[in-house]
């Protein structure tokens, strides 16, 4: 796959679990990407749409973000804290393409140890029909898709590592996805990342939760992009609740990519965040609502 570089990548966190700035915050994840694409055109796109409509729209207004000229929306996977405001974002944009895996907008259920069932997929009003009514053209694919020139989805991520797993479930817990009306164990196969080669910098990868594993995700991008190293990783890593051994294995494998930028957020968890900071002191950037990261520029205040 031949890659053409983009320029001036800037990633702004619109929603995250961590919000040290007054007046901003809420759970879930949403990122704004701004860049010059491989053909020289300036582009804006929203990656994931967080968990709460009023909170996200408040953050967007407070951060003075204009959604009217975004080019597209990319959804990492179908959990409600990543797709709960998609129809509203699409409508504010005046109708745009929405890229996702075929499983992303299917019903999702979490079964507790007690047997209690809780829906964890797209909330009411945020399904395929509502997104289309808002002007969205939903494009579902398992393979990598070029969303704008030089910017690609990962498609369904190959799972190669022996230690990474989807979620640390306890006995009796279950994740379910409903496919063609039938309930099946959910391996979160829709998990996908966004990636691009930034000119003069190198490949950068943006993740939602990295349920396939952050190492699997980077290996997958490395393979399809034919990269020797990965410059940057920004986004969720789902290392929250993981054992010390799991974190050690993850860090050992991440070192092999020679990351110059790592900014984990959302589902990473405080313990894993500190381990990553210790492991990558010169590459680590603390992420939070309102944080803007420019791939080709040094972030002056990396940790607050």
What are the sequence ranges of the domains in the chain?
7-294
Single out the residue of 303, 231, 241 nearest to residue 272, CA to CA.
241
Provide the pLDDT confidence category of residue 24 given band limits of 50, 70 and 90. Answer: confident
Find the mean pLDDT for residues 1-23. 86
Choice among 16-30, 43-57, 280-294 with the minimum mean pLDDT: 16-30
Q: Is the pLDDT of residue 1 over 70?
A: no
Is the backbone of residue 107 left (phi > 0), alpha (psi -120 to 50) or beta? beta
Q: How many CB atoms lie within 10 A of CB 245?
A: 9
The pLDDT, as a whole number, for residue 2 is 62
For 138, residues 6+ apart whose C-beta sits below 8 A from its C-beta are 97, 98, 100, 105, 128, 131, 132
pTM for the model stands at: 0.96
Phi first, then psi: give them for residue 185, nearest 5 degrees.
Answer: -60, 130
| Section 245-257 average pLDDT | 98
User: Is the confidence at residue 156, as pLDDT, over 90?
Assistant: yes
**Bridge partners, 182 (sequence order):** 179
- 254 has pLDDT over 80: yes
Residue 4 confidence (pLDDT)? 87
With a cut of 90, say whether residue 18 has pLDDT above it. Answer: no
Average confidence score pLDDT of the chain: 95
**Is residue 168 predicted with pLDDT exceeding 80?**
no
Q: At what angle do helices 244-255 and 214-225 cross, to 10 degrees?
A: 20
Of the chain, the percentage scoring pLDDT greater than 90 comes to 89
CATH architecture of 7-294: 4-Layer Sandwich (3.60)
Work out whether strand 42-47 and strand 72-74 pair parallel, antiparallel, or are unpaired. Answer: parallel
pLDDT exceeds cutoff 80 at 20: no
Say yes or no to pLDDT of 22 above 90.
no
> 25 pLDDT exceeds 80?
no
């Amino acid at each position: 796959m031949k890659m053409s570089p983009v320029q001036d990548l800037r990633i702004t966190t619109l929603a995250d679990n961590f919000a040290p700035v007054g007046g901003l915050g809420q759970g879930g994840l949403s990122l704004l990407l701004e860049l010059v694409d491989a053909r020289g055109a300036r582009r804006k796109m929203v990656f994931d749409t967080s968990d709460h409509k009023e909170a996200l729209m408040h953050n967007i207004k407070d951060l003075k973000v204009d959604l009217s000229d975004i080019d597209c929306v990319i959804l990492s996977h179908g959990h409600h804290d990543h797709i709960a405001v998609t129809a509203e974002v699409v409508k504010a944009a005046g109708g745009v393409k929405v890229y996702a895996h075929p499983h992303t907008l299917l019903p999702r259920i979490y079964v507790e140890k007690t047997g209690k069932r809780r829906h964890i997929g797209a909330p009411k009003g945020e399904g395929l029909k509502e997104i289309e009514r808002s002007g969205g053209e939903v494009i579902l694919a398992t393979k990598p898709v070029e969303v704008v020139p030089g910017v690609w989805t990962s498609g369904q991520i190959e799972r190669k590592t022996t230690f990474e797993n989807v979620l640390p479930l306890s006995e009796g817990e279950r994740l379910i996805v409903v496919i063609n009306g039938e309930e099946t164990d959910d391996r979160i196969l829709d998990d996908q990342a966004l990636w691009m080669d930034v000119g003069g910098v190198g490949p950068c990868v943006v993740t939602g939760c990295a349920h396939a594993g952050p190492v699997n995700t980077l290996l997958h991008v490395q393979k399809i992009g034919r990269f020797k190293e990965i410059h940057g990783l920004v986004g969720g890593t789902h290392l929250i609740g993981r054992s010390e051994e799991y974190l050690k294995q993850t860090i050992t494998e991440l070192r092999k990519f020679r990351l110059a930028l790592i900014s984990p957020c959302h589902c990473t968890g405080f313990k894993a965040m500190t381990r990553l900071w210790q492991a990558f002191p010169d590459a680590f950037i603390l992420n939070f609502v309102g944080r803007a990261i420019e791939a080709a520029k040094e972030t002056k205040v990396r940790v607050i």
